[in-house]
Structure 1
């Protein structure tokens, strides 16, 4: 069904092949995102590991104090550990505090402190009082862990 006139027509030339370079803008954006991810993921992982190690080191500050010590020795050991860490951070003024000033210092540096739980650190060393129960000791340890976590000790 072709006519001679139709056979005389020149067929259109095929388009040139699509070059592989330069890529479309979508491919460039995808490559940039992938490179950024390849850089960001290891950095994020390292920061997470560093934070986790710091947390574990901070928890060791509290858990290194043996629980079988008498109350005054246990409280003194906790105070010593905390003040040693503060001294290593350069906060020498805090290492000279004692009593209620020490508890106030601890309470002012993180949100929603439980001053009642921290009171034994201020007065338990200097005044003979009621012995701490195991629940009170545990509450004090947990509160100190909160303080350590918030202050990045």
Structure 2
């Protein structure tokens, strides 16, 4: 048989690989991404629950107090407990040093220090008085709550 008698055909390429099922490397990548996504969701939910528990603790302790004096004492106690997170010796500060600590970053943000020269000044002796004006305790509440959340490293 001569070379010219052979039936020659054109070269045929194999079909491209199908997109499904993916190669094993893609399965590994998808698994890693899903694990990372699940971990991020778990972390976010944990932080959200923690924040809710901290806010609930503050609100319940203050709401459980019957009188303005008890409310101020509860806020003072919670602030001192939270201050230990920032500085282990902070809960033992007294007088103006305690108020200056509570002013912290707030003092730089505004010209007036909210605890030393504002509504927070009632914390010095408010928990020990016989009576406190209800308005003074009410004015202290948002200030103390905000500072409590900051000290617990939860900004709102």
- Scaled by the length of structure 1, what TM-score is found? 0.65
The answer on 1:43 being equivalent to 2:61 is: no
How far does residue 38 in structure 1 lie from its aligned partner after superposition? 0.8
Q: Which of the residues 86, 89, 95 maps onto 2:91?
A: 95
Determine if contact 1:62/1:81 at 8 Å carries over to the other structure.
Answer: yes
Deviations 1:85-130 (A, max 9, x none): 445x484411212332222111115674733132221243456786
Distance 2:63 2:138 in 1: 12
Deviates more, 1:56-65 or 1:66-75: 66-75
Instruction: Give the superposed CA RMSD.
Output: 3.8
2:16 counterpart (15, 18, 22): 18
Q: Of 111, 118, 121, which residue of structure 1 is paired with 2:120?
A: 118
Q: Which runs of 5+ in 1 are unaligned?
A: 1-7
Structure 2 spans left out of the alignment, 5+ residues: 1-5
Measured after TM superposition, the shift of residue 29 of structure 1 is 7.3
Match of 1:72 among 47, 69, 79: 69
Which aligned runs of 4 or more in structure 1 are off by greater than 4 angstroms? Answer: 28-31, 126-130
Between the two proteins, the alignment pairs up a number of residues equal to 140
2:53 and 2:17 map into 1 onto residues whose CA distance is 57
